């Protein structure tokens, strides 16, 4: 019997240290949920906008097409999506597109939130875009466009958008509580994501931008702080852009990753070991254009890259969100981990408390 008292104590200590701390933590060992905590304004079944942790669900839908033999990561994107072959992009393989290497973090002249939410306008512009760098010459986090690119690819192959495949083939039958395109029926459980306080925003360290002209490409035009309110709007939640529009509980996040390799509620595991190997394999590693920071990506999934992203051992795959959430599966200890937090911790991205909680989970396993 494994004792997670230290994990629970640390979670409680965070709440004690900060009375506004509102967070959820859920952990599976194998198929079984062994940790299930919530504090502050969040109940264990509250749903929170999780920003880029959405990409982990989108990645899992892509993985499902790989599992089914419908998507070959080495095939040209244009073989599934012919219009994509414009502007010298005919040969770009799927794995390059889905690991932030194809030079499409944005489009000439910028794009709007409306184009993103309508999907088709942005997908059409991305298909017609000349890559900002020679595909493969570098990589930069496609913060928003990777969702549109993956979504269009899934639509062309499966006929359904990512949101629908996720619901019908992944979450519904398995009781996985997360939603890309959250229906009104769930609105009663939704809790608003909170931005950093004004004190934090003016005093705290903002993400380094380094003046790199590429850095400005990846977000929609307009005030970047608008995102903080947008994620809480009903229309945004209903549509759910696959890069950043998911709502989830920690329970849902942990269950999503557990379902990749374990039977849940009588439904078969989603992915074979071979598909997981393909998706979690490091596709790109090094200094990211735009931020100048070290990063590594699998196929859409993030993979650990210390010291910035020290969330697991070899073969771990997952994703974090700007709002502080973190979710992953670590095959070395068969841990599936889900964490949400209501208030975005600066500088944004995975909450340091989540990484510490993940460390304590592993310590408990070693002791247990």
Q: How far is the CB of 333 from a second copy (least distance, A)?
A: 12
Q: How far is the CB of 281 from a second copy (least distance, A)?
A: 6
Residues near a second copy (CB under 8 A): 87-88, 95, 103, 108, 130-134, 137-138, 210-214, 216-217, 274, 277-278, 281-287, 289, 304, 306-307, 310, 312-316
Nearer to a second copy, 159 or 307 (CB): 307
Among the listed residues 130, 78, 80, 88, the one whose alpha carbon sits nearest the alpha carbon of residue 106:
130
Q: How far is the CB of 73 from a second copy (least distance, A)?
A: 9
Using the structure block, give the residue that is written with the tokens 């993030």.
302
Q: How far is the CB of 201 from a second copy (least distance, A)?
A: 24
Q: How far is the CB of 286 from a second copy (least distance, A)?
A: 7
Nearer to a second copy, 42 or 289 (CB): 289
Name 179's Cβ contacts closer than 8 Å, sequence gap at least 6. 47, 167, 171, 186, 240, 246, 247, 248
Among the listed residues 73, 125, 122, the one whose alpha carbon sits nearest the alpha carbon of residue 101:
73
Nearer to a second copy, 226 or 285 (CB): 285
Nearer to a second copy, 95 or 155 (CB): 95
Nearer to a second copy, 132 or 337 (CB): 132
| Dist CA 46 CA 253 (whole Å) | 12
Q: How far is the CB of 203 from a second copy (least distance, A)?
A: 24
Name 344's Cβ contacts closer than 8 Å, sequence gap at least 6. 193, 194, 195, 196, 228, 322, 323, 324
| Dist CA 312 CA 335 (whole Å) | 10
Q: How far is the CB of 299 from a second copy (least distance, A)?
A: 10
Q: How far is the CB of 250 from a second copy (least distance, A)?
A: 23
Nearer to a second copy, 253 or 284 (CB): 284
- Sign of the alpha-carbon torsion through 97, 150, 99, 59: negative
Q: How far is the CB of 284 from a second copy (least distance, A)?
A: 6
- Residue 57 three-state SS: helix
Nearer to a second copy, 54 or 283 (CB): 283
Nearer to a second copy, 48 or 271 (CB): 271
Among the listed residues 141, 312, 283, 126, the one whose alpha carbon sits nearest the alpha carbon of residue 212:
141
**In the structure encoding, which two tokens stand for residue 12, read together?**
């409680």
Nearer to a second copy, 136 or 195 (CB): 136
Among the listed residues 251, 228, 244, the one whose alpha carbon sits nearest the alpha carbon of residue 46:
251
Question: 320 with 309: CB under 8 angstroms?
Answer: yes
DSSP state of 29: E
Q: How far is the CB of 301 from a second copy (least distance, A)?
A: 13
Among the listed residues 25, 3, 2, the one whose alpha carbon sits nearest the alpha carbon of residue 13:
25
Task: Output phi, psi for 265, to 5 deg.
Answer: 50, 40
Nearer to a second copy, 156 or 308 (CB): 308
Q: How would DSSP label each residue in 203-261?
A: HSPPPP-TT-GGGGGSS-SS-TTHHHHHTTSHHHHHH--TTT-EEE-HHHHHHHHHHHH
Using the structure block, give the residue that is written with the tokens 């396993």.
365
């Amino acid at each position: 019997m494994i004792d997670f008292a230290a994990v629970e104590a640390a979670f409680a200590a965070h709440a004690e240290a900060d009375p506004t701390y509102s967070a959820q933590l859920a952990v599976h060992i194998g198929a079984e949920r062994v940790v299930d905590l919530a504090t502050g304004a969040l109940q264990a079944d509250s749903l929170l906008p999780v920003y880029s942790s959405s990409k982990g669900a989108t990645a899992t839908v892509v993985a499902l097409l790989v599992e089914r033999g419908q998507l070959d990561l080495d095939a040209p994107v244009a073989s599934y999506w012919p219009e994509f072959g414009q502007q010298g992009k005919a040969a770009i393989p799927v794995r390059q597109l889905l690991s932030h290497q194809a030079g499409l973090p944005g489009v000439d002249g910028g794009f709007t939130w409306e184009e993103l939410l309508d999907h088709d306008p942005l997908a059409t512009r991305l298909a017609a875009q000349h890559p900002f760098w020679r595909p493969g010459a570098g990589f930069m986090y496609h913060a928003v466009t990777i969702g549109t690119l993956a979504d269009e690819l899934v639509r062309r192959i499966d006929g359904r958008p990512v949101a629908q495949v996720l619901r019908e083939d992944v979450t519904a039958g398995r009781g996985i509580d997360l939603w890309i395109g959250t229906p009104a029926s769930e609105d009663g459980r939704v809790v608003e994501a909170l931005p950093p306080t004004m004190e934090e925003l003016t005093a705290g360290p903002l993400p380094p931008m380094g003046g790199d002209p590429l850095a400005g490409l990846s977000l929609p035009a307009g005030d970047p702080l608008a995102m903080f309110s947008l994620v809480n709007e009903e229309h945004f939640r209903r549509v759910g852009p696959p890069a950043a529009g998911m709502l989830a509980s920690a329970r849902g996040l942990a269950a999503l990753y557990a379902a990749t390799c374990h039977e849940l509620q009588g439904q078969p595991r989603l992915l074979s070991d071979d598909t997981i190997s393909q998706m979690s394999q490091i596709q790109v590693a090094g200094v990211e254009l735009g931020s100048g920071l070290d990063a590594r990506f699998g196929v859409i999934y993030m993979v650990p890259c210390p010291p910035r992203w020290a969330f697991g051992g070899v073969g771990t795959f997952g994703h974090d969100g700007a709002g502080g959430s973190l979710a992953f599966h670590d095959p070395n200890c068969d841990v599936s981990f889900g964490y949400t937090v209501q208030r975005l911790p600066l500088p944004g991205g995975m909450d340091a408390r989540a990484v510490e909680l993940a460390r304590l989970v592993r310590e408990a396993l070693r002791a247990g």
